[in-house]
Amino acid sequence: MVITLIGYRGTGKSTLAAPLAQRLSWEWLDADVELERRAGRSIQDIFATDGEPEFRRLERELLAELLRRDRLVLAAGGGAIGNEATRTDLKAAGPVIWLQASADTIECRLATDPTTGQRRPNLTSSGGRAEIERLLALREPLYRECATMMLATDHASANELVEDVWRQLPVNLRGGAT
Which helix (H) or strand (E) segment holds residue 132: the answer is helix 128-146
Distance CA(28)–CA(4), nearest Å, equals: 10
pLDDT at site 34: 97
Rounded average pLDDT over 18-41 = 96
What are the two backbone dihedrals, phi and then psi, of residue 148, each rounded to the nearest 5 degrees? -105, -10
Chain centre distance of CA 90 = 11
Confidence tier at 174 by pLDDT (50, 70, 90): low
Torsion of CA 91, 57, 134, 156, to 10 degrees: 50
- Asked whether residue 175 carries a pLDDT value surpassing 90, the answer given is no
- pLDDT tens profile 55-101: 999 999 999 999 999 999 999 999 999 999 999 999 999 999 999 99
pTM score > 0.75 for this model? Answer: yes
Indicate the pLDDT class of residue 129, thresholds 50, 70 and 90: confident
Band (130; pLDDT cuts 50, 70, 90): confident
Query: CATH classification of 2-165, choosing from 1.20.58.220, 3.40.50.300, 3.40.50.1100, 2.60.120.10?
Result: 3.40.50.300
* pLDDT tens profile 14-25: 999 999 999 999
Mean pLDDT of 159-174: 86
Q: What rounded mean pLDDT belongs to the chain?
A: 89
